[in-house]
Amino acid sequence: MVAIGVLVSGSGTNLQSIIEAVEKGKLDASIKVVISNIADAFALERARKHGIPTAVIRVKDFPEREAYDAEVVRVLKEHGVELVALAGFMRIISRVLLDAYHMRIMNIHPSLLPSFPGLEVQKAALDYGVKFSGCTVHFVDGGLDSGPIIIQAVVPVKDEDTVESLSKRILAEEHRIYPQAIQLFSEGRLEVRGRRVFVRKSEAPSGTMENPRAATF
Ligand code: GRF
């Protein structure tokens, strides 16, 4: 079981998918706290509805990014968080948070990285004319959407797609692979070697069948 903290800014559909995976017993994690930089983010409502502690940390209350992140780290530690999941958290994070949770911060991004980092990436993918897009769960390092890749899922781009229709197709995959990546972390199966993340085979305790949870996603 891994103790996670989820950082959000917006609607929180990825948070919802993590909550549901935990409640269905597919994800062996406990969501200790949901932190938002936006006071009225709908993601906070979702957390409260499921009895998950929330915290709002406002950007304007802190003189610089490092002080803001120090407060985020304080709240995460206070709740015993071991793994941080960025889920639509619209802020660049500093070394303060990166160093406190080295290779223990994940992010979900709606493109097949390293294509289309940054913002409005579904539009960028459409404009570029790619035939496939998708999403990426990666560990967070100091760069822009640049950390080691854990899982990617691919979706087709159709001729009739709009930003909305493509985003929706990608989002459905986000909701599938983010809990899956967290589950792999929870099982201690992710090994980072340089840029590459290797997924170890699941090790069932001797004398038992292989843990069926590993195959439920
Ligand atoms: C998702 O598209 C995610 O990939 C990106 O921000 C969006 C968050 O959506 N990082 P939601 O708040 O989880 O609905």
pLDDT tens, position by position, 52-107: 999 999 999 999 999 999 999 999 999 999 999 999 999 999 999 999 999 999 99
Count other C-beta atoms under 10 Å from residue 87's C-beta.
25
Residue 45 shares a structural domain with residue 126: no
45 lies in the same domain as 71: yes
70 sits in which H/E element: helix 65-78
Boundaries of domain holding 149? 108-217
Q: Say yes or no: CB of residue 109 within 6 Å of ligand 1.
A: yes
Joined tokens for residue 195:
């840029």
Same domain, 98 and 117: no
User: What CATH code is carried by the domain that includes residue 144?
Assistant: 3.40.50.170
Same domain, 69 and 9: yes
**Statement: residue 216 has pLDDT above 50:** no
Task: Give residue 23's pLDDT.
Answer: 98
Q: In what order do the strands lie in the sheet with 2-8?
A: 54-56, 29-36, 2-8, 83-86, 105-109, 132-139, 149-156, 196-199, 190-193
Catalytic residue among 79, 102, 109, 138: 109
Looking at residue 215, its pLDDT comes to 45
**What's the confidence (pLDDT) of residue 103?**
97
Sign of CA dihedral 75, 79, 81, 85: negative
User: What is the reported pTM?
Assistant: 0.93
pLDDT in tens, 10-48: 999 999 999 999 999 999 999 999 999 999 999 999 999
Tell how far the Cα of 181 is from the centroid of ligand 1, in angstroms.
16
Domain boundary among the residues 102, 128, 161 is at 102
87 within ligand 1 shell (Cβ under 6 A): yes
Tokens of 111: 């493109």
Structural domain count of the chain: 2
Segment (H or E) for 86: strand 83-86
Residues 64 and 89 in one domain: yes
